């Protein structure tokens, strides 16, 4: 202003940088018209600030879905068509049948074994990620990003990569890395958008079912598990040897889809980074303290170390023997084998059983929501099964499809069902037979139908916050803070998966 004096300047609080006042207004204008990246980033902020406000606590979602499933089972035409013949078709008898199915051992308590397997995946993954070598690696990697942009790309790439190895490991590595990068950026005075980093850390659950902890393909590798899922008409043909991983996880289609997501997901997050630091939400701005995680380094008892390492080596040796056996091999890996290997590796890297146990105790806190909610979702599964509601969902998608589009509609129906029942193995137990029979009738390979269900299940993890509970506990953000970003990345991933299903 006024004459040729020094231009007025202002202090930009989020960055701590003093800039000419003209740039204060010019820069946002350039950003508003600056291309697709700014449009996508603005959309991410809009979705997060709108939808995010209405996302309730995950436990409330489980209770609400229980009530919604009961209402739909009693009101949707065509339900209870093949239910217990003792019912007379009246509403009271249907309510009684629904309540009985929900309350029974095959309802609330059906997946206690599977739930324990899932808890072990989480606990062993967490303990491995919390081991000193892995934590040092995470801390070192956390200091690499020089901006939120590079941070979200790095976090999402590592989360997706570890998600293909083990979903429990991915949840914890993604959470710890997101927290570490956020803490490092804030410590160095670099603008940080913490919710976006946390959303990037959750993306391991967007790819997990196409990786080596995917419950549907792993459940189908052994004859016993395959027999439990396959309908009678398919047992003789497929249950003798199971369905090997070469037709599912290691198939060319899944390699294209899952490895492609290693590039697609980080690119999507790159576009979601807000253009102006004003839109960033740092941990301090969210009133989150990331510097209170004390670590211990007490000396270890040599005898304890020997015992712990010996157990870890024995578990890994058993894993190696299984891989080389005539009844095992990489194509027959199941959840039990993966958990045993993770347990053994964690024991070795921690060095002492007591240290490992403390890591497991920390991990068990993340299981709290899972322990309480898993029975509710098993109950939802039972109500959907006894009423025929799940079959109606799946068959509606199948009826509207051709052999070429059947995998697409199967994925879509699985995505919807996963919102009600966020359990890959539990969902496969009910939806799997329907999908496989439809696939055989349409001439679609069995392995492709398995992966079609798996892809749908993993997609809507980005909307259903059930499995985000451990990540939210570690990073201390709320589900509503990240759901807008994960929803948009889900849509991008859905397009990529659709391409894979159509091409192969």
**300, 111, 339: which is closest to 213 by C-alpha?**
339
Residue 381 has pLDDT above 80, yes or no: no
Burial tier of 280 (Cβ tally within 10 Å: 0-12, 13-18, 19+) = buried
- Provide the β-strand partners of residue 447: none
CA separation for the pair 487, 269 (Å, rounded): 12
Mean pLDDT of 427-433: 72
Residue 397 has pLDDT above 80, yes or no: no
In this predicted structure, what is the pLDDT of residue 58? Answer: 65
Do 243 and 226 form a contact (C-beta atoms < 8 A)?
yes
**350, 453, 430, 411: which is closest to 111 by C-alpha?**
430
In this predicted structure, what is the pLDDT of residue 416? Answer: 85
Q: Is 145 left (phi over 0), alpha (psi -120 to 50) or beta?
A: beta
Residue 431 has pLDDT above 80, yes or no: no
CA separation for the pair 478, 468 (Å, rounded): 10
Residue 285 has pLDDT above 50, yes or no: yes
In this predicted structure, what is the pLDDT of residue 3? Answer: 43
Do 489 and 206 form a contact (C-beta atoms < 8 A)?
yes
Burial tier of 28 (Cβ tally within 10 Å: 0-12, 13-18, 19+) = middle
Lowest mean pLDDT among 48-52, 272-276, 322-326: 48-52
The fraction of the chain above a pLDDT of 90, given in percent, is: 29
Do 396 and 193 form a contact (C-beta atoms < 8 A)?
no
Would you place residue 11 in the very low, low, confident or very high pLDDT band (cuts 50, 70, 90)?
Answer: very low
The fraction of the chain above a pLDDT of 70, given in percent, is: 77
pLDDT tens column, 468-482: 877 887 788 888 889
Q: Which residue has the higher pLDDT, 203 or 432?
A: 203
pLDDT tens column, 140-159: 999 999 999 999 999 999 99
In this predicted structure, what is the pLDDT of residue 318? Answer: 92
CA separation for the pair 241, 239 (Å, rounded): 6
**452, 395, 374, 386: which is closest to 216 by C-alpha?**
452
Mean pLDDT of 91-112: 85
Mean pLDDT of 336-351: 89
Return mean pLDDT, the chain: 80
Residue 82 has pLDDT above 60, yes or no: no
**126, 217, 142, 154: which is closest to 180 by C-alpha?**
142
In this predicted structure, what is the pLDDT of residue 449? Answer: 93
Residue 160 has pLDDT above 90, yes or no: yes
Would you place residue 14 in the very low, low, confident or very high pLDDT band (cuts 50, 70, 90)?
Answer: very low
> With helix as H, strand as E and coil as C, how does 347-403 read?
HHHHCCHHHHHHHHHHHHHHCHHHHHHHHHHHHHHHHHHHHCHHHHHHHHHHHCCCC
pLDDT tens column, 114-129: 778 778 877 887 888 7
Would you place residue 13 in the very low, low, confident or very high pLDDT band (cuts 50, 70, 90)?
Answer: very low
In this predicted structure, what is the pLDDT of residue 502? Answer: 93
In this predicted structure, what is the pLDDT of residue 483? Answer: 86
């Amino acid at each position: 202003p006024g004459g040729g004096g020094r231009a007025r300047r202002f202090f930009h609080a989020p960055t701590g940088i003093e800039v000419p006042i003209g740039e204060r207004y010019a820069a946002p204008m350039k950003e508003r018209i600056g291309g697709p990246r700014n449009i996508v980033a603005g959309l991410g902020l809009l979705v997060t600030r709108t939808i995010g406000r209405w996302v309730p606590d995950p436990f409330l979602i489980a209770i609400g879905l229980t009530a919604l499933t009961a209402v739909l089972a009693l009101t949707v035409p065509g339900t209870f068509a093949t239910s217990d013949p003792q019912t007379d078709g009246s509403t009271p008898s249907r309510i009684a049948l629904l309540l009985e199915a929900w309350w029974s051992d095959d309802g609330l308590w059906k997946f206690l074994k599977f739930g324990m397997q899932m808890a072990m995946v989480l606990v062993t993954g967490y303990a491995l990620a919390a081991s000193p070598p892995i934590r040092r690696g995470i801390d070192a990697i956390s200091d690499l990003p020089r901006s939120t942009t590079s941070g979200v790309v790095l976090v999402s790439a590592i989360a997706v990569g570890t998600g293909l190895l083990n979903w429990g490991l991915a949840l914890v590595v993604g959470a710890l890395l997101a927290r570490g990068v956020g803490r490092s950026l804030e410590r160095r005075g670099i603008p940080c958008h913490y919710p976006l980093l946390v959303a990037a850390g959750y993306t391991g659950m967007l790819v997990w079912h196409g990786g080596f902890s995917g419950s549907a393909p792993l459940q189908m590798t052994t004859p016993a598990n395959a027999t439990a899922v396959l309908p009678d008409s398919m047992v003789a043909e497929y249950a003798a040897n199971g369905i090997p991983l070469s037709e599912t996880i290691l198939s060319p289609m899944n390699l294209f889809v899952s490895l492609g997501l290693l590039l697609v997901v980080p690119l999507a997050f790159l576009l979601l980074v807000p253009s102006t630091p004003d839109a960033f939400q740092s941990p301090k701005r969210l009133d989150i303290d990331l510097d209170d995680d004390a670590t211990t380094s007490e000396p270890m008892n040599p005898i304890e170390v020997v015992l712990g390492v010996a157990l870890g080596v024995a578990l890994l040796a058993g894993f190696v023997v299984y891989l080389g056996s005539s009844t095992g091999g990489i194509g027959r890996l199941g959840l039990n084998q993966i958990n045993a290997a993770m347990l053994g590796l964690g024991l070795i890297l921690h060095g002492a059983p007591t240290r490992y146990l403390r890591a497991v105790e920390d991990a068990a806190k993340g299981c709290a929501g899972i322990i309480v909610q898993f029975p509710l979702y098993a109950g939802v599964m039972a109500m959907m099964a006894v009423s025929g509601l799940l079959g109606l969902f799946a068959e509606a998608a199948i009826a509207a499809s051709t052999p070429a589009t059947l995998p697409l509609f199967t994925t879509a129906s699985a995505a919807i069902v996963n919102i009600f029942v966020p359990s890959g193995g539990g969902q496969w137990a009910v939806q799997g037979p329907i999908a496989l029979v439809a696939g055989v009738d349409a001439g679609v390979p069995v392995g492709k139908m398995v992966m079609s269900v798996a892809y749908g299940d993993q997609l809507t993890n980005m909307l259903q916050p059930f499995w985000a509970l451990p990540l939210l506990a570690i990073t201390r953000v709320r589900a509503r803070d990240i759901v807008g970003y994960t929803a948009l990345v889900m849509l991008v991933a859905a397009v990529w998966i659709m391409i894979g299903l159509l091409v192969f």
